[in-house]
Copies of this chain bind each other. A is one copy, B any other.
Amino acid sequence: MSVTSLETIQDYRTVVRERHSVRHYDPNWQISQAELMEILAEASLAPSSSNTQSWRFFVFHDKELKQRLLPIANNQQQVVDASATVAVLGDIEGYKRIGDINDIAVAKEYMTPEFAEQFTANSLKLYGGLPPEVLTRISLVDGGLVSMQLMLSAKARGYDTVPMGGFNAAKLVEEFNIPSNLVPVMLIAIGRAATPGRKTSRLPIEQVTFWNGEGL
């Protein structure tokens, strides 16, 4: 089945239910830089640890660049055929931007300058004292949060996505000179579906929930 036009979705519940991983994309469909940036900006409204926003987005949009990514992503063709493939990265030094983040909050009158100063000082002290493993864990969780919202925001605009964990992270870092403070979280292909995603099953929610700890 070929998709002939984009169908945007307003309804939250529909967005959640219609989002499926899509592995076949229309290679001729372009998503503009402006629209992709809008999707990323909406995704980044996600919460993060002390609002440090340690996520970083390496957007593979250029065709040749996507081709270089292909073997690193186990030759999954969607990496090239999708309009873009986003490498979501976690910056374990991202907390160093907390001063900038709080300055913006002060300018917008979300915080008083006094509160911001104290908050920045406390955060720099707290995060600066954490070992890299802990900062990495925080980055992975926050990277997961922003990635989910990215996929939903794409779907709401009529696009499809697929998250990919199956790629060679070490080669990604090497091939694209990614600095050591940036930890790969996942790849997300985004574009216009050529064939719709398959439905997938879920375990009954009772089987993954411990209500008041029962069944642990």
**Most B Cβ at <10 Å: residue of A49, A145, A151:** A145
Question: Which chain B residues border A153 with CB–CB below 8 Å?
Answer: 12, 16
- The reply to whether the CB of A45 lies closer than 8 angstroms to some CB of chain B is yes
Question: Which chain B residues border A21 with CB–CB below 8 Å?
Answer: 47
The answer to whether A216 and B148 touch across the interface, beta carbons within 8 angstroms, is: no
- The reply to whether the CB of A57 lies closer than 8 angstroms to some CB of chain B is yes
Interface residues in A34-48 by Cβ distance below 8 A to B read 37, 40-42, 44-47
The answer to whether B59 and A42 touch across the interface, beta carbons within 8 angstroms, is: no
- Evaluate whether A45 and B16 lie within 8 angstroms (CB atoms) in the complex, with A37-B209, A144-B140 already known: yes
- Evaluate whether A12 and B61 lie within 8 angstroms (CB atoms) in the complex, with A102-B201, A216-B177 already known: no
Bound complex: CA of A216 vs CA of B185, how far in Å?
16
Question: Which chain B residues border A102 with CB–CB below 8 Å?
Answer: 201
Question: Which chain B residues border A156 with CB–CB below 8 Å?
Answer: 12-13
Question: Which chain B residues border A176 with CB–CB below 8 Å?
Answer: 213, 216
The answer to whether B138 and A141 touch across the interface, beta carbons within 8 angstroms, is: no
Distance (Å) between the CB of A198 and the closest chain B CB? Answer: 6
- The reply to whether the CB of A113 lies closer than 8 angstroms to some CB of chain B is no
Bound complex: CA of A45 vs CA of B19, how far in Å?
9
The answer to whether A41 and B212 touch across the interface, beta carbons within 8 angstroms, is: no
Question: Which chain B residues border A40 with CB–CB below 8 Å?
Answer: 205, 209
Distance (Å) between the CB of A211 and the closest chain B CB? Answer: 5
Contact with B along A131-160 (1 / 0, CB 8 A): 000000110111111111101110010000
11 A-B pairs besides A41-B202, A60-B212, A145-B145 with CB distance below 8 A are A11-B11, A17-B45, A44-B202, A45-B202, A51-B201, A56-B209, A58-B213, A65-B212, A110-B201, A144-B144, A147-B148
Interface residues of A (CB under 8 A from B): 9-13, 15-17, 19, 21, 33, 37, 40-42, 44-47, 49, 51, 53, 55-62, 65, 97, 100-102, 104-105, 108, 110, 137-138, 140-149, 151-153, 156, 163, 165, 176-179, 185-186, 198-203, 205-206, 208-213, 216
